[in-house]
Chain A
Amino acid sequence: MVTNVTSLGRNGLHDWLVQRISAVVLLVWFVYVGCYAVLHEPLTYLAWQGLFSQTWMRIFTLIALFSLCAHAWIGLWTIATDYFSVHLMGKKATALRLLVQVACVAVLAVYLLWCIHILWSI
């Protein structure tokens, strides 16, 4: 058993499952929004606003946003633990890895809060 406190669920199965479910959610959201944009060509601001002002679309988008953040975090965490390892870089790797992980969390948190703000101000 390898313990790790910075992975999303502290458990490989949890992260693996979340990554796959979030991928499906994102696929459905992007296909739906893509189809909507194509079918309402030329897409006007009013049509776009009409779509995102509906409660169900806001909830669907919020779920997609959480999925995006979880998916991105699991992927970036994996990359950080692959490439910034003591095995490859020596002792400085731990500090660098933590820095990269904190930066990723900060960026994802900003995007998430910013998107929620936009979504509820339409």
Chain B
Amino acid sequence: MMDIEVTNVAKRYGTSLAVSDVSFGVEQGHVLSLLGPSGCGKTTVMRMIAGLIAPSAGSIAIKGKPVTQIPVHKRNVGMLFQNYALFPHLDVAHNIAFGLEMRKVPKAEALKKAEAVLAMVRLEAFGARYPHQLSGGQQQRVALARALVIEPSVLLLDEPFGALDKKLRENMQLEMRQLQQRLGITTLMVTHDQDEALTLSDRIAVMRAGVIEQFGTPTEIYERPVSRFVASFIGTSNFFTGRVTAKVNGGYTVECPDGVRLGFNGTPPAEASVTVALRPEGIQVSPDAGGDPAPNRMRTTVEQIVYRGLSTHYYLRRPTGEPLVVVRQNDSGADVFAGLQPGSAVLASWAAERNLIVRDDA
């Protein structure tokens, strides 16, 4: 069952289209991330689901009930704002009790429930504090408690971790995910942070310029990007453009203008000219032993080496001058990578299944 259903929704501001014809669903208990660069329309979509702005076209349903015509205060959504949006004039307990009071819950009972929810986010002793007396992480927990205490149909998170520093952000992400899974609450999250989307989501919708570019599981999005935009926005990719040439037994070859050949398994695509994405972690590097140019091999020179702790990034240069990025985990002992220096001539090679044909929309 779909807890959130968005059908052909569009939002127009004057003559510009912020969101055009977006449709997707969020399954019960799932976390869906709307991922995209700023200005792609992801926040607009979320605010339309919350009811804070009205769509120009299309319809929205929450838990199977059409809500397009229902005002925000009757939609029963829990929303977490980027800056938490706690009420500065109310203490923590009254912040949390606010939504219950609006539902005509008697004040004493509302405050008692607020206590219980505060325990859930591990802030039992903080009921009498005011928001400005709390740290960023504590404020976020209060905001989460305030959104959850009304037992919302769905939870909406608007860039929820953007204001926290890296360490705290990672802790809060894990905590949020655990809580979400324990409560089984259907969640929609807006983010521009690909790591956040990959960490927290069951499904990701990558948005660009008001449309959904790709919808899928985190694995699908990362391993099977459909377009050049997705391949470069989530993770990094090397790109090749070439023409489909030789059709060999059980596969085919794409030949680039500089002579590099990319070997594929399976049936060739219908187009004659294609764009190929190649993830940097799929490339091996070995000493340049010369020899015949084979498919999925390329002679390069090392341009720059950047040590990043967990991994090392090698910026190679192809004979044509185009860059080729290789990423390697720093997990094994001394090997061929150890002796590499800027200027070294190396041979880059990769397996055929690493070549991904993507739509070129750059």
Q: Do A and B bind each other?
A: no
